[in-house]
Amino acid sequence: VQLVESGGGSVQPGGSLRLSCASSGSIYDTMCMGWVRQAPGKEREGVAAISPGSGRRYYGDSVKGRFTISRDNAANTVYLQLNHLTPEDAATYYCAADLQWCRAGYFDPHGRVGYWGQGAQVTV
């Protein structure tokens, strides 16, 4: 297992959650990592990504100003802080690695992703 997620759950609108994604060092140090969500009947949506090395951050338009991606280098872990949640944020959130997002500057819902976490359910 390359990516191990934790967090998620059920919150009231306006509430907050934090997701974690632990990875191997080889993934964490070299790959663009982030979060992708998918709700039933909807297309895959890029939530946030972070570049290896520089730590440059990327966000989907619908979450800018509300969600924050961060990382802990000592723990090879990436976090997603979800604030001001709305019912539209309800989805399964997948940690992902080897995203093309960091190179392309945008998320392609049909783009290749190298690794997936097991998914964490967020209910609002």
- When pLDDT is cut at 50, 70 and 90, the band that residue 14 belongs to is very high
Between CA 4 and CA 40 the distance in angstroms is 22
Two tokens at 17?
């959650």
Q: What is the pLDDT of residues 69-108, one digit of tens each?
A: 999 989 999 999 999 999 999 999 999 999 999 999 999 9
- Nearest Cα to 85, choosing from 36, 35, 15? 15
Q: Taking the chain, what is the end-to-end CA distance rounded to the nearest angstrom?
A: 28
3-class DSSP assignment, residue 109: coil
Instruction: Look at residue 1 and tell me whether its pLDDT is greater than 80.
Output: no
Q: What are phi and psi of 55, to 5 degrees?
A: 75, 20
> What count of residues does the chain have?
124
The per-residue pLDDT for range 23-65, each reduced to its tens digit, is: 988 888 889 999 999 999 999 999 999 999 899 999 999 999 9
